[in-house]
């Protein structure tokens, strides 16, 4: 009876991992496409907010790809993956702050119509990814950190749309720069959360045995 229960549990875990893998492949593809779209839009429109959001998409692509690599590994490996994601998010946040400062020094207002169009497309794409990841947000620390990335994307997309409206209304670069800085701060805050949780899991694994069939 015990062997049958263990076999059933193993099959259930394998099915969960299969569903997780399919979701991660889809969101990885969406983020890669949207990185290209937003980065191009940010360059053409001179928008710090769009460039920040595009770098977020690229960072998430690395995150999802690494999540796929450790999907069938142990809890310790998945915690290490979350640690890696936190480092990526922090690095991109610093890059966004530098980019925002450079844009301010140039003093060129971004093109609001391009910001609005690309921002709406990104919001639609990230809403789709968020819905796919919602049911897996509590599976483990690996999927939780991935879901947090998706949640941040929606917040950043909404902020880009607000910035586009304010730029169109004021003909000023400040709303775009402020949103770029805000996205960077959001990345830093989430990075700190992910790093803290992953370090807790890694230390827990080192200090005692963890039963993990995956």
Give yes or no for a contact between 20 and 140, defined as CB atoms under 8 angstroms apart. no
- CB count, 10 Å around CB of 31? 26
Residue linked to tokens 């990185």: 35
Q: Indicate the pLDDT class of residue 56, thresholds 50, 70 and 90.
A: confident
Domain, as residue range, for 180: 8-206
Structural domains counted in the chain: 1
What is the rounded distance in angstroms from the CA atom of residue 163 to the CA atom of residue 175? 5
What is the rounded distance in angstroms from the CA atom of residue 89 to the CA atom of residue 184? 9
The HSE-up count of residue 144 (CA atoms within 13 Å, CB side) is 17
Please state the pTM of the whole predicted model: 0.68
Would residue 213 count as lying in a domain?
Answer: no
Would residue 91 count as lying in a domain?
Answer: yes
Determine what percent of the chain is predicted with pLDDT higher than 70: 72
Average pLDDT of span 37-43: 89
Would residue 137 count as lying in a domain?
Answer: yes
Between residues 94 and 122, the one the model is more confident about: 122
Would residue 109 count as lying in a domain?
Answer: yes
Give the pLDDT score at 161.
92
Would residue 196 count as lying in a domain?
Answer: yes
DSSP state of 173: S
Segment 91-107, tens digit of pLDDT: 877 877 887 777 777 76
pLDDT at 212 over 60: no
What is the rounded distance in angstroms from the CA atom of residue 190 to the CA atom of residue 110? 27
pLDDT at 37 over 50: yes
Q: Which of 46-50, 70-74, 108-112 has the lowest mean pLDDT?
A: 70-74
Q: What is the CATH number of the domain that holds 51?
A: 1.20.1510
Give yes or no for a contact between 143 and 81, defined as CB atoms under 8 angstroms apart. no
Please report, for the chain, how many H helices and E strands are present, in that order. Answer: 6, 0
Segment 125-170, tens digit of pLDDT: 989 888 887 766 665 565 666 777 777 788 888 888 999 999 889 8
**Residues, the chain, total?**
214
Mean pLDDT, rounded, of the chain: 75
Between residues 150 and 8, the one the model is more confident about: 150
Burial of 6 (0-12, 13-18, 19+ CB in 10 A): exposed
DSSP state of 109: -
């Amino acid at each position: 009876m015990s062997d049958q229960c263990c076999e059933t549990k193993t099959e259930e875990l394998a099915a969960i991992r299969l569903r997780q893998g399919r979701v991660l492949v889809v969101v990885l593809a969406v983020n890669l496409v949207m990185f290209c779209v937003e980065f191009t839009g940010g360059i053409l429109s001179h928008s710090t907010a769009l460039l920040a959001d595009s770098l977020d998409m690229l960072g998430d692509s690395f995150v999802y790809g690494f999540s796929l690599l450790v999907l069938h590994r142990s809890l310790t490996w998945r915690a290490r993956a979350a640690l890696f994601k936190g480092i990526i998010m922090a690095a991109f946040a610093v890059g966004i702050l530098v980019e925002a400062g450079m844009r301010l020094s140039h003093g060129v207002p971004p093109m609001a119509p391009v910001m609005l169009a690309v921002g709406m497309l990104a919001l639609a794409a990230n809403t789709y990814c968020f819905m796919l990841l919602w049911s897996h947000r509590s599976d483990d620390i690996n999927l939780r950190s991935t879901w947090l990335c998706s949640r941040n994307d929606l917040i950043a997309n909404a902020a880009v749309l607000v910035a586009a409206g304010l730029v169109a209304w004021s003909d000023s670069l400040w709303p775009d720069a402020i949103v770029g800085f805000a996205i960077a701060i959001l990345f830093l805050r989430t990075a700190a959360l992910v790093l803290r949780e992953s370090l807790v899991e890694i230390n827990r694994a080192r200090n005692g045995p963890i039963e993990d069939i995956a």
